[in-house]
Each structure stands twice: as structure tokens, then as C-alpha cells.
Structure 1
Amino acid sequence: MIISALLLAGVLAFAVVRPRGLPEAVAAVPAAVIAVGAGLVPLRDATAELRELGPTVGFLAAVLVVAHLADEHGVFRYAGRVAARISRGSPVRLLGAVFVAAALTTAVLSLDATVVLLTPVVLVTAARAGVRSRPPAYASAHLANSASLLLPVSNLTNLLAFAASGLTFLGFAAVMALPWIVVVAVEYLVFRWFFRAGLRERVEPRAGGGDGPAPGYALAVLGLTLTGFAVAQPLGVHPAWVAVAGAVALAVPLRSSPLTLLREANPAFCAFVLALGVVVAAVRAHGLGGLVEHLVPDGAGLGEMLAMAGLAALLANLLNNLPATLVLLPGVESSPGLLLAMLIGVNVGPNLTYVGSLATLLWRQILHEQDAAPAARDFLRLGLATVPIALVSGVLALWAALRVTGH
């Protein structure tokens, strides 16, 4: 148990610090090899874990390529222009426009697209509009996590939970639509209160920008790809293949090189996810799994769902949300209510601390590179203001949605 815990702690610490910018897989892959070689995880169990995670990681790689190609087509720059046009120099209107853009980007293209591709656009848009960048920049981080509740493809945690839920693609979206709307609305209201002073301030606008045509082809392909996710799943087609088709359709007009597409699929991060699954399997087999079984609530009433979401949020901030999902999933997969409450916890909970999700760590790195470094104290204060009320509101909405939809 001690060796397994030390391996997981080392992998997570490396992922947080990323010394010299090295990819997370540099620590995770050797840790997984040690776990198997030392007999902490039997080879057959490690192989089964990799086989189970493989399609999910394949989808992750494909959707990263789709997001990159959408950026090459100008989708995110177009979103920035629309947000600037809607705001007309008003900090409050710009915050609202960023909330809509980030929520939709996260839902359709996953949280990584919001963090990596939309955040720099948000910073530039705020500067050109002459408003403080902190409120919309922090919104992109929060919504990358909390707005990922809507679709199975919005977050890697969703894909893991979706595979165990027994729901169809549209069934998942139908149940999670109300929690998604409620959580985003709660976040917006808290942001309006928390940044009330900054939303009244103006700065000197930066020259540049201008209008441009909408990237109609790319938007059409993204729309068809999203439709394909819903249509293909009942036919037994994994969403990864739909994402691959969308990537091919976007790549052809750009004549993107295969090497570029491979690089944008981020093989190192995919290897990290697979290796992390093996390390978590070792921890789960040597004590943590039994502890979690005792902590997971019995029953699926509102009280138990609230407790489950709280436990998931706590583990997300202690372990990171991906390992927390892998640890909790076996204990809740037989109960749709607890499973989806767990998902709210691991998606909304990471807004409390930097270490709650890898997306938040990446967002922090991007802001440092843009000379807009966030303050840890402000991030924690904002998390304390948003996470508890968003968790409770989201679970209440989920409880109501499960009854309305008959699940």
C-alpha cells in the first residue's frame, strides 16, 4: 500500500511541477512499469486497464486534433470577435459573452480547447475592448471544469463515467442539461459579485482586431461532428471514430501534415493517462479501493448524492480529478444517481484549487506565459465562493432531472 501510494504521489507531484517543462508521462510511464514489475498490479489486470482506457484515450487524442484544426480555421478568433462586438466595451457584457463562448467550447470541444485555445483569445479580446482581463480569464478556467458536465465528450472524466452509466449519448445529455445550465448560471452570478469592483473599471483599449468572415466550413464540420456523436453511439460506433472523421474533414482544406496532426494529438499526454490508470489500479488494489467502498454512501437519495459529490470534490483536490474518477468509479457504477453526482464533484470540485485538474494547471501555465499570472489567493477565494454553492445547486438539479427523465 505504501509503495503504491508513493508511486501515485510521485506521478501527481511531477504532473503539478513539470520540471523543465517535461511531459507528465516521464514520471507516469516508469511508475506504471514499476507497479507491474513489483507485482503491485498483475500483468493481466494492467492489460485489462489499458484495454478499457484505450478507446477513451483514443477519443482524447482525436478531439485534441479537432480543436487544433478548428483554431487553424479561425474558429476561436471568430469567437473573440463576436464577444468583443457583443460587449461594446462593457466589462459585464464581455464577461457574459465569455461565459457563453467558454461553456459551448467546453461542451463541444472539451475543456482542453477552452484552456489552451480560448484563454489566449479571451486575454486579447479583453485588452482590445479596454476591460480588465482577470474576470473573463478566470471564467475560462472555471468553465473549463464546471461547464464540462453536458456531454460525454466534454471531459475525459465524462467519457469514463459514460462508459459505465448505461446511458445513450442523448440520454446522458438530457439528464445533465439542467445541472449544466444551473452550475453555469450559479458561477456567473458569483463571478458578478466577486469581481464587482473590476467589472466597473476600464483600461486603455489596445489597437488591433477588426472584423472578418465567419469560418463557415469549420463551424459546419464541428456541427456535423457533434451530431455524429449523438447518431453514432446508438449504432455501436465509438465517438473516437466520429472525432477522427471530423479531424480529417478539417485537415483536408488546410493540407495539414501527418506529423503536425500527430504532435497535436499529444501522444505524451495520452501515455500519461494510460500509465496513470495502471498506477491508480495499484493504489485501488492495496487499500484505497476498500476505503472508498466504506466512504461511498449507500442508497441514491438526495442526501447520498450530495455526500457523493462532496467526497468526489474532496478527492479531486487531493488526488486530481482524473485519478479520483478512476478510484471512485467501481464503487458507484451500479447507481446512476451516485455516478452522475460523482461526476459533478470531480468536474466542479477542481475549481477550488490549482491541483484539482490538469486543465487548471495548464491554464495557470498559459497565463504565466501571457504575463497575466493569476494570484493563488484570489483563485482560492473565488473557489471557496463558487464550488460549494455550485456543487449543491448542481446536485439538486441532477436529482430533479433524474426524476423528470425517469432515470
Structure 2
Amino acid sequence: MTHDLGSLAEIIGFLVAMTVLAQACADEGLFTALGGRVARGARGSSRRLLAYAVATAAVVTATLSLDATVVLLTPVLLAASARRSYAYASVRLANSGSTLLPVSNLTNLLAFGSTGLTFLGFTWAMLPVWIVAVVAEYLVLRVWFRGELRDAAPVPADVQPVPLVPVTVVVLVLIGLGSGLTPWIPAAIGAVVLSTRALVRRLSTWRELLDAANLPLAAVILAWAFSVGYVGSTSLGDRLTDALPSGEGLWSLLAVALIAMIAANLVNNLPATLLLLPAAEAAGPGPVLALLVGVNVGANLTMIGSLANILWRKSGGRSVSTIREFHTIGFATTPVLVVLCTVVLWAWTSVIW
């Protein structure tokens, strides 16, 4: 097995800490302030508001993980303007925007150790992929929803100031993550600091923070991940290892990414990562990064591709979209974006490695 129970528990612990940290940031008014500034900065332009929404979702995803984007940012963007394009900006960027940092997605954390890269090395390798994915998602949404983007966007009368304390804590957590510390440690420290501040200032309660941690879901993910990891250590795992292409050439990386995309949308991206990771790891860091392109960017293909997609519907996506529309956009655009991002990955790593 690529991961034992202890390492999986550390990864899930990081997820819990980051969700509590994100909730504490929301209690401080960070997401409301960001949403207000996005709407004010657009100055009534729907296209500009979409660009700001995409950029905000991409940054929140990269720094606070994709769950913060779909659960906490989605309602804020819908409050700014209840349009489909802004709702889709949060969910699509929650997946495509999670390629940048090792801590932006659980899939990244699972695969990070297999790349043999440092935190900064991983980020440097994925930076062009992330930029291309963000720009491509913006163009997709601008073209797909061009009709509704012709109308003016509302401009809020009042905008809350961005709270400096949560921003500072998040920056310090990122510095701690980049320093090589075990990810759950700086995340837990940041969560304790901000949640304690929220409790002292009566911005939140223990029950609300405990609900944000969602420990039952964390336990299910841990058991699920461990079970799938065990399956991967059997003869089925050996067959997957034999089926996945080896080598770091363009065609091999494209095959890995597309196989990973299909697997993610058959069984969800987390178990797909666990099943395919041993074979990708044996082929080298390039295939591991291509695997992440497939399971992250490729998770926009179907509703079951990522847990973030399901959380997004519960956080407001259901009110402005249908499952049919989600899949129509996904099938029309996601495979093309996976191929584009993989080509960028191959070209960039060919230069820097």
C-alpha cells in the first residue's frame, strides 16, 4: 500500500483542520468581504464580475482547499449575483484550481510524497498548469453563459473591510506548509488560533466549529481511502499497474491523465488516486502530476467526480443549475481542458527538469 493508516489519518487531520480554519475565516467575515469587493470592483460589469469570481475561487481553492470554495465562497458569490455563471465559477475552479499546491486538495496530499518533490518544487511544476486551467475555465464560462453576462451586475452599496487577522493567519499557515512541516501541524495551529479568537469574540460556538469539522465525514473518508488502498494492494492493483502507461513522454502523460479522469468519474477522484498512484509513482514524477491533472481538472466531468461537486450543490448550486446542465458543460469542455493542461505540464517539466 502507498499509504498506511497513520499517514492517511494525518491527511484527513489536515482536511479537518483546514475546514475549521476556513469556517473561522468565514466567521471573521473574510468571505463576505471578498465577495463584496469582487462585486464592487466589477463596477456593474457582469464579465468583469465573472473574471473576479474565477480569480477569487482559484486563490481560495489553492490556499484554503477546494472545500472552502464550494461550501463558504459559493453562497457569497450567489449573494453578489444569483447567476449560473458565478455559481459554476466556484465549483469548476474548486476542482481545476486545486492543482497548484500540495495542500489544495486531498488528492494532491495523497500523491505529494510520490512525486519526490519539495513543496516549492511541486508548486513550481504545477504553476503554469494552474494558470492555464484558471484562464481556460474563465473562457469556458464566459462563452457558455454569454447570454446572461450581457446584463449589468448589481453593485453593492456597502463593502466590509477585509479582516487582517485571518488573512495573516492563513499566510503564516502557508509559510509553515512551505517550510516542510507535516501539513496537519501548521493547519491545526492556525485552526486553533482562529477558532479560539472566534469563540472569545462570540463570532462562533463550539457546536458550529464542530459541525464545520464534520468528523463523521472525515471518518468515512478515512475508512473509504484505507479500504480502496487495500484493494490496490491486491491483484487488481497489479492489473492497474500493468495497464497504466509508463514513461514521461507526451503521449504517456496524456494517457495517464485521461485514464485518471475516467477513473475519477467512475469511482470519485479520491479512490481513483489511491488506485492509480502506485503505477504512476513507478513511472516517475511526471506521470504522478499528470494523474493529478486527470483527477482534479477531470473531476468537472460528472457530479460524482469530486466530493466538492456534491457539497457545491448543497451550498447553493442546486438553486441555479440542474444536474443535466452540469454534465452537459462537463462533457463538452472537461476532456479538452485535461488534454490542454497535460500538454502544458509536459512542455513545462521538459524545460525545468
TM-score range (shorter-chain normalised) is: over 0.9
2:116 counterpart residue number: 166
73-82 or 184-193, larger mean C-alpha shift: 184-193
Structure 1 residue corresponding to 2:72, chosen from 117, 120, 124:
117
Structure 2 residue corresponding to 1:210, chosen from 158, 170, 176:
158
2:336 counterpart residue number: 389
CA contact (8 A) 1:364 1:373 kept: no
CA distance in structure 1 between the aligned counterparts of 2:61 and 2:300, rounded to whole angstroms: 15
2:297 counterpart residue number: 348
* 3-state DSSP of counterpart to 1:229: helix
* 3-state DSSP of counterpart to 2:4: helix
| Count of aligned pairs between the two proteins | 348
CA distance in structure 1 between the aligned counterparts of 2:55 and 2:92, rounded to whole angstroms: 13
CA contact (8 A) 1:110 1:153 kept: yes
209-218 or 134-143, larger mean C-alpha shift: 209-218
CA contact (8 A) 1:367 1:374 kept: no
Deviation at 1:88, TM superposition (A): 1.4
CA contact (8 A) 1:49 1:277 kept: no
AA in 2 matched with 1:94: L
TM-score by length of 2: 0.93
2:195 counterpart residue number: 251
**What does residue range 76-225 of structure 1 map to in structure 2 within 5 Å?**
76-127=31-82, 133-202=83-152, 210-225=158-173
Structure 2 residue corresponding to 1:289, chosen from 237, 241, 259:
237
CA distance in structure 1 between the aligned counterparts of 2:270 and 2:80, rounded to whole angstroms: 31
Structure 2 residue corresponding to 1:75, chosen from 30, 48, 69:
30
Structure 1 residue corresponding to 2:9, chosen from 22, 45, 54:
54
- Map Cα deviations across residues 193-217 of structure 1 (whole Å, 9 max, x no partner): 11111211358x5x97612222011
Deviation at 1:87, TM superposition (A): 1.2
CA distance in structure 1 between the aligned counterparts of 2:16 and 2:29, rounded to whole angstroms: 20
Deviation at 1:291, TM superposition (A): 2.6
TM-score by length of 1: 0.81
Between the aligned residues of both structures, percent identity stands at 46
Deviation at 1:292, TM superposition (A): 1.1
386-395 or 273-282, larger mean C-alpha shift: 273-282
Deviation at 1:402, TM superposition (A): 1.3
379-388 or 317-326, larger mean C-alpha shift: 379-388
- Map Cα deviations across residues 182-233 of structure 1 (whole Å, 9 max, x no partner): 1111111121111111211358x5x9761222201111111121122112x1
1:228 counterpart residue number: 176
CA contact (8 A) 2:20 2:195 kept: no
Please provide the CA RMSD for this pair.
Answer: 1.9
- Map Cα deviations across residues 15-74 of structure 1 (whole Å, 9 max, x no partner): xxxxxxxxxxxxxxxxxxxxxxxxxxxxxx79x731231111111111111101010111
CA distance in structure 2 between the aligned counterparts of 1:318 and 1:140, rounded to whole angstroms: 22
CA distance in structure 2 between the aligned counterparts of 1:374 and 1:180, rounded to whole angstroms: 26
CA contact (8 A) 2:225 2:271 kept: yes
* 3-state DSSP of counterpart to 2:289: helix
1:3 counterpart residue number: none
* 3-state DSSP of counterpart to 2:81: helix
Q: Which runs of 5+ in 2 are unaligned?
A: none
CA contact (8 A) 2:21 2:187 kept: yes
CA contact (8 A) 2:87 2:320 kept: no
CA distance in structure 2 between the aligned counterparts of 1:69 and 1:373, rounded to whole angstroms: 27
CA contact (8 A) 2:92 2:300 kept: yes
1:238 counterpart residue number: 182
Look at both structures and tell me which one has the larger radius of gyration over its CA atoms: 1
CA distance in structure 1 between the aligned counterparts of 2:100 and 2:35, rounded to whole angstroms: 23
CA distance in structure 2 between the aligned counterparts of 1:150 and 1:199, rounded to whole angstroms: 28
Deviation at 1:284, TM superposition (A): 2.4
- Map Cα deviations across residues 357-398 of structure 1 (whole Å, 9 max, x no partner): 111011112226xx6142122111211232122111111111
CA distance in structure 1 between the aligned counterparts of 2:24 and 2:209, rounded to whole angstroms: 9
Q: Which runs of 5+ in 1 are unaligned?
A: 1-44, 128-132
**What does residue range 271-282 of structure 1 map to in structure 2 within 5 Å?**
271-282=219-230
Structure 1 residue corresponding to 2:264, chosen from 316, 320, 332:
316
94-103 or 219-228, larger mean C-alpha shift: 219-228
Deviation at 1:251, TM superposition (A): 2.3
Deviation at 1:287, TM superposition (A): 4.3
2:281 counterpart residue number: 333
AA in 1 matched with 2:296: N
1:365 counterpart residue number: 314
CA distance in structure 2 between the aligned counterparts of 1:270 and 1:111, rounded to whole angstroms: 15
CA distance in structure 1 between the aligned counterparts of 2:130 and 2:263, rounded to whole angstroms: 21
